[in-house]
Amino acid sequence: MPLDPARRHQIEQDAITAAWEAERLSACDAAIALLREIADQERDDAGDVIIGTDADGHNDLMARITAFLAAND
């Protein structure tokens, strides 16, 4: 017996919502991991995080944060 069109639509919407929620949870997990890395960074005398760069002025953590924000904004 085929599904009622309204019921089929509701199942499709529920699947879309579940996929969206899974994507958001994954993004939250990635954000938490980045925040934990920031929390583990070296701090100055005032307690501020020191985000240093290499000789070329690059910082992997900052590049990853930038990429994360671009992908999840």
Give the domain ranges of the chain.
Answer: 5-72
Which pLDDT belongs to residue 11?
92
Contact yes or no for 43/49 (Cβ under 8 A): yes
- 48 falls in which pLDDT band (50, 70, 90)? confident
Provide the 8-state DSSP code for 59. -
Task: Report the mean per-residue pLDDT for the chain.
Answer: 83
pLDDT higher than 90, residue 22: yes
- 42 falls in which pLDDT band (50, 70, 90)? confident
Distances (CA, A) of 7 to 11, 14, 20, 35: 6, 10, 20, 42
From the list 40, 34, 37, the residue with the least C-alpha distance to 69 is 34
- 3 falls in which pLDDT band (50, 70, 90)? confident
